[in-house]
């Protein structure tokens, strides 16, 4: 017959791991949500329920916890260790992907001093990493999610085409707000030198925020492009960056029925619908890597 | 410089549309969540904030509501009308994608008779459609999401490899539960004959459920493959189907510390982590269409 | 000092329990989310960390699973068994509350026949029960949640007062939609006769839906009151019922800017804000029972 | 008949309001979610759909936006202005409650300097206020929600009773984590002097965090009580405080099957079930105010 098994993979999603490193007088918390995905020769399981090639997802979960015993360091390093392990130890596995969310914890400040072992969740913002390793190569994608940003001025929107269905007035003054979702692929290190992924993350994050704040914006597209290109300009070790930015609309409320003006002060924060801008900014001298995403 | 604008698109996400068709004595409700995405020549907006090619997302929203005035019919037909409109009416637009969620409403039964205009949300289950239309072709992907299924027996899991991190016991009796997420691509109609998308949806759905119930399962992979291949076997008009099935684990509770046995009766329903099986089943005589997804 | 410990209680929230009853050729699924709360003499734990009166919440969870071994029957019966156990077996415990959510599962139909052991989650709608038992008495509150309802006609809203801030036009035709949240307290059975709680639930649910469909509505308040009073009229065994009904607004879209009329057909389904109507309907010859809620 | 209309109220929930105060070179953002609830003589609306006493919830929403034109200042002050307005301007209204969530925004730091008009959402943590004003009095309840806290040591749990269903081992070392939900009622200001609610909020928050960090804990009850009593000890203007603390369990993972020890380093963060501790700490010389909550 002409019906065939196509691409397939499997794994364990959302293994919740918290690691406490107990340095004297100063604990460190690493809080991760780890998902593993294996690709390889699993046809027999699909076709006949023969699981001789299928390492249980329960074992993958156990591996995440066991590997954490030796430390995490960065999501990227931890994920790469895991991905290599699955490919090297399981003959049918040709590639492994490890996707990690990292939740931040901020040290409490008590009576002016940093607390040794007390923390609060630094809510919202999530750091991500997707490590893909296999026969065809190794790719490192890092990211940030759910970081909500707002400029209260410095944003216009006009000059757009008007068709039969266009009623939107042009504006020279609006709130620009978004929930940042950015992922960037690092140029793979050829010599295998050690990379400080945590420092790199902080640097990328700072450039994204600076570009958001510094760009006088005529379109969210322009802001998105400015954020991405600023990262690439400053970090030659980043090959490409992808941004998905919802336009979190803030509508100026018409107060005139109540006899009031509204000089750009009172806004309704809308839920749905929302604009959505998606863009890739990339180096044209670095090969594309669709497998990384 | 070597930094360039890569792939980009934009649109309006989650326009919430309810349409009531008021037939005498019998209303019909169509409840959709519509997202539109346009691809084309928007470089000027990214590079300099020149929006002369950027039809506002607000206009896209308006178009969704205006087109609903003439009826919806099926998510696939409605989405195709919208996608064609954007491509044909906006010169810079080379392709449009319309993604739709459709929420079901069941007619209330009052004193044994179907109510003419009273309904309840048929919760959970969501019907989806993704229509992609542009210079390179037209693709129709239909789907179902969030339909949670359970077999209380007829599922085993054994014969898997055991490594250092494997502690899972083999089992000949377990609950198999999942939240169905399936999407299928139709073979594009060459002659343009009219397709009854609503009927097709019901047929695919019935085959998926039957295959889930009828498959004695040695692996969730096997069940996933059986569901997909059954659809392709019965519907030559489907080119490929993709399934993503979380393994919603139900753990048999050990009651022995309390002096009780547990003959496959009492289970803990786990939240996280969960296994995740992803598979494509396809015809090998139909060209692939990565642009459709 | 004048600072004192006030009311306090503790327990285990959201123990997820699935029970399969394996009748030959026909399995039955009961899917519950159980929360237990104990009240009593726990002052020492608060004041000095002396836990000698504090049955661990982990033990409460274990008890839920162990008691399920003997069957569930109805959330109300199961909860009462648990509540009595905690009060009777733990000397410091003066009262226990057991709150249960029950999720429905519908049997799959395969090729026209009911499947013996295959099910789908009947999404949305959740059945609830709150059982309170202790020194002061026993109260049974049953309920339903998240059942979204819509009348596409038969709803008006006019005759309301207009103040400086009122811009809402009067309407003689609107969609009336809500997500039903109803809880009803049963008159406690003095003789201790056995009650068929599952049948009572179905009866109350049917009356609520009938009243929603049958009431020509001039206000959501009127609909809410009609639903509650219909239940009390038909079921003398119900002492009071409380309803909380969000007004899920559907806004008629103005299509006139596009040269189109909109004869009550195309609506925008809003998320926020929403009206919220809360009402109690009660018998005036039954004592109030604030402890039950 | 004996069936009567009981307590009832209605209002507009979740009006989303963002106010920008545009001081030269330094904007300020206030981001609120406002819900209004009116109590009074609305019997006619329930019984016959006569709405002559029912100020539309749409007007309540409009009032929220209109009042924001004159500034917000603090959720407490803003809510009190709104509550008074409804009671004073609507004859049938005997009491109004305004419940507010306030979301924090942190100013971005760009190249070492605070940005004049760029912000990020300070995620997680939500400030709340519930203002109740009417014929019987005025009550101010302030609060904080969704602030997740963790102590990585300094927590034990032992000495608890063991029944047939107890399997939990005693522990002298565990992670203590919770999501703070605290609400405190202020002693009503008799002389009507102006209160700096924003400063009061920061003071209460600091005491709660300090007590969490400083308490060597033998039970989450003890920590909860320490947090509440510390607030009352330091702030005579607070009459009572209510805490609801989920015990966000972190389970030490048993790595011994893999030949590894686990010296309090690797934890599984559980979702459900969770312990839940609820406690009130109050002054015994201040009258109770059940209407405030």
**What tens digit of pLDDT does each residue of C117-167 get?**
999 999 889 999 999 999 999 999 999 999 999 999 999 999 999 999 999
For residue B31, the chain C residue with the least C-alpha distance is C269
Confirm whether D130 is a catalytic residue: no
Instruction: Give Rg (Cα) of chain B.
Output: 23
Two tokens, residue C68: 């399920």
Number of residues in chain D:
293
Query: Taking the CA of residue A145 as centre, how many other CA atoms within 13 Å lie in the half-sphere pointing to its CB?
Result: 11
Chain A: give the shortest CA distance to residue D181, in Å.
Answer: 14
- pLDDT above 70: residue C6: yes
* Best B51, B62, B238 residue to mutate vs chain A (most A CBs within 10 Å): B51
Chain C: give the shortest CA distance to residue D172, in Å.
Answer: 13
Rounded mean pLDDT, D103-112 = 94
Of A11-15, A204-208, A283-287, C169-173, where does mean pLDDT reach its minimum? Answer: A283-287
Chain B: give the shortest CA distance to residue D61, in Å.
Answer: 21
Q: How far apart are CA C70 and CA C90, in angstroms?
A: 21
Q: How far apart are CA C33 and CA C16, in angstroms?
A: 5
Chain B residues within 8 A of D167 when measuring between CB atoms:
257
For residue A264, the chain D residue with the least C-alpha distance is D20
The per-residue pLDDT for A188 is 79
Chain C residues within 8 A of D167 when measuring between CB atoms:
58-59, 62
The per-residue pLDDT for B152 is 98
**pTM (2 decimals)?**
0.97
> C217: which DSSP letter?
B
For residue B37, the chain A residue with the least C-alpha distance is A276
Catalytic positions of B are 12, 57, 249
For residue B69, the chain C residue with the least C-alpha distance is C266
Rounded mean pLDDT, D73-94 = 98
Q: Do D283 and C48 touch (CB under 8 A)?
A: no
Rounded mean pLDDT, C264-268 = 98
Q: How far apart are CA C179 and CA C146, in angstroms?
A: 5
For residue B256, the chain D residue with the least C-alpha distance is D165
- Residues of chain A that touch chain C, judged by Cβ-Cβ distance less than 8 Å: 164-165, 167, 257-259, 271-272
**What tens digit of pLDDT does each residue of D172-206 get?**
999 999 999 999 999 976 566 789 999 999 999 99
Q: How far apart are CA B80 and CA D130, in angstroms?
A: 49
CB atoms under 10 Å from CB of B203, counted, come to 16
**What tens digit of pLDDT does each residue of A146-166 get?**
999 999 999 999 999 999 999
Name the residue among A120, A31, A119, A116 with its Cα closest to residue A72: A31
- Residues of chain D that touch chain B, judged by Cβ-Cβ distance less than 8 Å: 164-165, 167, 257-259, 271-272
Q: How far apart are CA C132 and CA C291, in angstroms?
A: 8
The per-residue pLDDT for C192 is 67
Rounded mean pLDDT, C264-292 = 96
Chain C residues within 8 A of A272 when measuring between CB atoms:
271
Residue with tokens 């002396």: C50
Asked whether the beta carbons of D219 and D227 are under 8 A apart, the reply is no
Q: Do A209 and D154 touch (CB under 8 A)?
A: no
pLDDT in tens, chain B (293 residues): 699 999 999 999 999 999 999 999 899 999 999 999 999 999 999 999 999 999 999 999 999 999 999 999 999 999 999 999 999 999 999 999 999 999 999 999 998 999 999 999 998 899 999 999 999 999 999 999 999 999 999 999 999 999 999 999 999 999 999 999 999 999 976 566 789 999 999 999 999 999 999 999 999 999 999 999 999 999 999 999 999 999 999 999 999 999 999 999 999 999 999 999 999 999 999 999 999 99
ipTM surpasses cut 0.90 = yes
* Best D152, D203, D255, D271 residue to mutate vs chain A (most A CBs within 10 Å): D152
Chain B residues within 8 A of C150 when measuring between CB atoms:
29, 105, 118-121
Q: How far apart are CA C49 and CA C59, in angstroms?
A: 18
The per-residue pLDDT for A190 is 57
- pLDDT above 70: residue C287: yes
Name the residue among D118, D112, B47, D108 with its Cα closest to residue A229: B47
Name the residue among A34, A35, A32 with its Cα closest to residue A11: A35
Chain B residues within 8 A of D165 when measuring between CB atoms:
258
Phi/psi for B121 (5° steps) reads: -65, 125
Q: Do C165 and D272 touch (CB under 8 A)?
A: no
Chain D residues within 8 A of A153 when measuring between CB atoms:
22, 27, 117
Confirm whether C12 is a catalytic residue: yes
Rounded mean pLDDT, C74-78 = 97
Rounded mean pLDDT, C236-260 = 98
Chain C residues within 8 A of B205 when measuring between CB atoms:
none
Cross-strand bridge partners of residue B140: B131
Query: Quick one: what percent of chain C has pLDDT higher than 70?
Result: 98
Asked whether the beta carbons of D77 and D197 are under 8 A apart, the reply is yes
Residue with tokens 């018998």: C283
* Best D115, D255, D267 residue to mutate vs chain A (most A CBs within 10 Å): D267
Of A117, A269, A270, which has the smallest distance from its Cβ to D154's Cβ? A117
Name the residue among C97, C162, C107, C106 with its Cα closest to residue C132: C97
**What tens digit of pLDDT does each residue of C20-64 get?**
999 998 999 999 999 999 999 999 999 999 999 999 999 999 999
**What tens digit of pLDDT does each residue of D33-67 get?**
999 999 999 999 999 999 999 999 999 999 999 99
Q: How far apart are CA B171 and CA B179, in angstroms?
A: 22
């Amino acid at each position: 017959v002409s019906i065939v098994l196509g691409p397939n993979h499997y794994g364990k999603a959302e293994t919740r791991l918290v690691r406490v490193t107990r340095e004297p007088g100063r604990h460190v918390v690493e809080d991760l949500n780890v998902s593993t995905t294996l690709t390889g020769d699993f046809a027999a399981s699909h076709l006949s329920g023969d699981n001789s090639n299928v390492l249980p997802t329960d074992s993958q979960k156990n591996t995440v916890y066991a590997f954490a015993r030796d430390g995490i360091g960065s999501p990227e390093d931890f994920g790469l260790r895991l991905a290599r392990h699955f490919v090297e130890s399981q003959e049918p596995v040709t590639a492994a992907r490890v996707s990690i969310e990292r939740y931040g914890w901020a040290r409490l400040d008590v009576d002016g001093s940093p607390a040794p072992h007390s923390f609060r969740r630094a809510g919202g913002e999530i750091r991500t990493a997707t490590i893909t390793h296999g026969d065809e190569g190794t790719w490192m994608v890092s990211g940030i999610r759910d970081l909500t940003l707002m400029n209260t001025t410095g944003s216009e929107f006009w000059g757009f085409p008007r068709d039969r269905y266009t009623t939107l007035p042009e504006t020279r003054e609006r709130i620009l707000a978004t929930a940042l979702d950015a992922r960037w692929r690092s140029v793979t290190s050829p010599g295998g030198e050690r990379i400080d992924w945590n420092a790199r993350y902080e640097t990328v994050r700072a450039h994204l925020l600076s570009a958001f704040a510094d760009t006088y914006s005529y379109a969210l597209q322009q802001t998105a492009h400015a954020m991405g290109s600023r990262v690439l300009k400053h970090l030659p070790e980043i090959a490409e960056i992808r941004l998905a930015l919802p336009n979190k609309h803030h509508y100026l409320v018409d107060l005139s029925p109540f006899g009031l003006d509204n000089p750009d002060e009172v806004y309704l924060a809308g839920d749905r619908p929302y604009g959505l801008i998606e863009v890739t900014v990339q180096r044209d001298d670095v090969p594309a890597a669709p497998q990384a995403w």
